[in-house]
Amino acid sequence: MTYKMDEINAIKSRISRRQFDGQALSKELMSHLGDKIVAYNHESGLSIQLIEDAGRAFNGLRKSYGMFSGVKSLIVLKGATNDLYLKEKCGYFGERLVLEATRLGLGTCWVAGTFDKTESMFKCDENESLICVIPIGNSPTEATTKEKIIRSLSHRKSKPYERFINNRDLTELPDWLSAGIKSIMLAPSAVNSQPVYLELREGQVSIHTPDKKATDLVDLGIAKLHFELAAGGSFPRGNGVPFFKSKEKDSFESEF
């Protein structure tokens, strides 16, 4: 597969796309994405699926309120209902797939609400829950006028940098932390609500979400992935957990 960019540039250039060309993905792309999904399901315990022809759940006014057109392929994010971290994991691994798709030049959009969930393709096993879906495919290079209008309607004003960090130490932030904050500012979130923020207390960075809306924990998983990639390190699963910075000097701060 030929990548058009690295993960950091994918974080910077991704925006939600709601217009697709209605064509099936090539066999090569389906198999590449299928392999990634097998690996992520193995790592996470989720049961993510790639559906080749899911247009009937989206296309048409009554399905997605007319917000989407030309949807064909779809990533379905689901897993065991009793998994404590189900939503967060769907966010984290779903966003891995979104960034992978962006690197390959494909359009994507996270979707929790605006599709027909009653379609038989979304039927889950008894002990499983469907969390979100992500249409994936070729989109016009530039956002269309219709996409721009929908974006302006479904996109709250972005929060300023200061709202993403509660700096109890009142110190100047190191470059890696500043890079991580900027990467969270670029993370997709439901209606651009941007519910995830960081705390710096006694030199320790932790990540939080109020967990009030049904999608807040999905947004937490997405934001964790962005922060890890930009700042270099990892979070354990959970809300309010500390960040562990990698020892090796391998951060991307200069790119933010």
Ligand X SMILES: Cc1cc2nc3c(=O)[nH]c(=O)nc-3n(C[C@H](O)[C@H](O)[C@H](O)COP(=O)(O)O)c2cc1C
Give the span between the Cα atoms of 50 and 39, in whole angstroms: 13
Asked if 222 contacts 14 with a C-beta cutoff of 8 angstroms, the reply is no
Give the span between the Cα atoms of 94 and 40, in whole angstroms: 9
For 37-77, give the DSSP string.
Answer: HHHHHHHH----EEES--GGGTSSHHHHTT--BS--EEEEE
**In whole angstroms, how close is the CB of 15 to ligand X at the nearest point?**
4
Give the span between the Cα atoms of 180 and 224, in whole angstroms: 9
Does position 29 interact with ligand X (CB under 6 A)? The reply is no
In the bound state with ligand X, the residue whose beta carbon lies nearer, of 74 and 109, is 109
Does position 109 interact with ligand X (CB under 6 A)? The reply is yes
Does position 192 interact with ligand X (CB under 6 A)? The reply is yes
**In whole angstroms, how close is the CB of 17 to ligand X at the nearest point?**
8
Does position 231 interact with ligand X (CB under 6 A)? The reply is no
Give the span between the Cα atoms of 34 and 240, in whole angstroms: 32
In the bound state with ligand X, the residue whose beta carbon lies nearer, of 101 and 190, is 190
- Among 181, 19, 44, 40, which Cα is nearest to 108's? 19
**In whole angstroms, how close is the CB of 252 to ligand X at the nearest point?**
19
| Secondary structure of residue 132 in the 3-state scheme | strand
Give the span between the Cα atoms of 71 and 107, in whole angstroms: 10
Does position 112 interact with ligand X (CB under 6 A)? The reply is yes
Does position 189 interact with ligand X (CB under 6 A)? The reply is yes
In the bound state with ligand X, the residue whose beta carbon lies nearer, of 114 and 239, is 114
Give the span between the Cα atoms of 138 and 226, in whole angstroms: 23
Does position 113 interact with ligand X (CB under 6 A)? The reply is yes
Q: Which of these segments, 20-28, 47-55, 103-111, 232-240, binds ligand X (CB under 6 A)?
A: 103-111
Q: Which of these segments, 76-84, 107-115, 159-167, 231-239, binds ligand X (CB under 6 A)?
A: 107-115
Binding mask 58-97 for ligand X (x = CB under 6 A): ---------x------------------------------
Does position 155 interact with ligand X (CB under 6 A)? The reply is yes
For helices 216-231 and 86-103, give the axis angle rounded to 10 degrees. Answer: 50
Residue type, 153: L
Does position 143 interact with ligand X (CB under 6 A)? The reply is no
Binding residues for ligand X, rule CB under 6 A, total 21
Catalog residues that contact ligand X under the rule CB under 6 A: 15-16, 67, 109-114, 132, 154-155, 188-192, 215, 218-219, 222
